[in-house]
Structure 1
Amino acid sequence: MLKTIILLTDTVQQQQPLANLLREHNRDLAFCSALSASDLSALDPNVLSGARLVSFAADVAVPEKFLLELGYGAYKFYATPTQYPGLPPAPDESDDDPRCYSVIAQSMTIWPDFKKVVGLETVTIPDGTVPAERERMVFSRLAYLFWGMSHMIAGGATDLPGVIGSSECQRPTAAMMN
């Protein structure tokens, strides 16, 4: 049974609103906060078998051993620029000022073939948008994706359904490595 959500965020201010949203869907959840890989390694190992890691807008490398010990998987919410997917950028497009972003929720595993996208949206930035407003628009869309998936994140399913990714139904375990 899912007992704990480990929230890995970029700032402390993001922790409470995310926890409050998830708690609306599962009042019995406990929450652990983390801002770095060292915060993750400081968590009680006994908690991990009943836990799910949720990384929200955090650029932190999660140790492989930690991912293997989680009983309910790990998911990362992030944004990335996506100009002309599948095509080279136009010569007049600047990489410093992307107009299109993908906000993505993706499973985190140590096996690349088992990663899957569980949520995906696109944000198009209007011409002339200043960088601060662009960042706000992208972050708002990322928060909206999290909000829309919060019932699944707080639920007890071991794996969230993928919208893009492996056709494999089973999450790999440490025993599969042998």
Structure 2
Amino acid sequence: MNGEIILLTSDLEASHLASILHKHNPELSIIAVQKRAELEKVVLAGSHANNWRRMIAFCSSVIVPTAVLNHLGGPAYNFHPGPPNYPGAHPASFAIYHQVDQYGVTVHEITSTIDSGTIVATEWFKVRDKIRFSELEMDAYKVLLSVFQRMSERLAKNPTPLLPSGETWSGKTNTREDFNRMREVTAEMDEGEITLRFRAFG
């Protein structure tokens, strides 16, 4: 059951995610990277010794280069801490600003366009009243980790592509610039708008 998974995530998360995967496949080779340069070096450096290879991004802001995706030989997957209707950066903040009562997380194939690849899994949950963006981000993180645990055996042992869930992306793909712009407060805003923006964007 020899195989290789490249984990694009933080050091702290990589250790925990790797331990989950190794429970299902002790022979699995796992390489953890945090930055684009590290990812390119690992993937583009040459051939690997394992009979299959997969890349997984978990709560990473790194944009995966097309050359890396083309070199993998199969789909790479992103665990996105937001639902399909909130692609892009800071999904929790925009969801709170829009005062949604349902939020979720998404697992999808990585493509050259941010948060647009085929969706393979989602999980929805109720948004708590008067929640701040940091609290919703933590709630989403816990749900996303649960989804990873549920999918971990499949990811660690079966190299074939994951099946589409049938759900599709919608809504605006927000950027860091959009987030920063929404943090600006002007004299024309009333108290309700200012309070909402603070709760959503800090």
Normalised-by-shorter TM-score class:
0.7 to 0.9
Aligned to 1:31: 30
Aligned to 1:157: 159
Aligned residues of 2:107 and 2:122 also touching (Cα < 8 A): yes
Aligned residues of 1:117 and 1:162 also touching (Cα < 8 A): yes
Aligned to 1:3: 3
Looking at secondary structure, tell me which structure has more strand per residue: 1
Aligned-partner residue type, residue 46 of structure 1: S
Alignment length (residue pairs): 156
CA shift in 2, pair 1:109/1:135, >3 Å: closer
Per-residue CA deviation, residues 42-101 of structure 1 (Å, 9 max, x unaligned), is 1132129731000001111111111111134200001226779xxxxxxxx962765432
Aligned-partner residue type, residue 143 of structure 2: R
Aligned residues of 2:108 and 2:121 also touching (Cα < 8 A): yes
Per-residue CA deviation, residues 99-140 of structure 1 (Å, 9 max, x unaligned), is 43220010123489x932111111221112233322211110
- What does 1:116-131 align with in structure 2 at a 5 Å threshold? 116-131=118-133
CA shift in 2, pair 1:51/1:31, >3 Å: same
Which residues of structure 2 form unaligned runs of 5+?
87-94, 169-202
Q: Kindly, what percent of the aligned residue pairs are identical?
A: 26
* Worse overlay, 140-149 or 45-54: 45-54
CA shift in 2, pair 1:34/1:97, >3 Å: farther
Q: CA RMSD in A?
A: 3.0
- What does 1:25-174 align with in structure 2 at a 5 Å threshold? 25-43=24-42, 44-47=45-48, 50-80=52-82, 95=97, 99-110=101-112, 115-164=117-166
Which residues of structure 1 form unaligned runs of 5+?
85-92, 167-178
Aligned-partner residue type, residue 7 of structure 1: L
CA shift in 2, pair 1:127/1:103, >3 Å: same
Please say which structure displays the higher CA radius of gyration. 2
CA shift in 2, pair 1:134/1:41, >3 Å: same
Once the two structures are TM-superposed, the CA of residue 22 in structure 1 deviates from its matched residue by 0.6
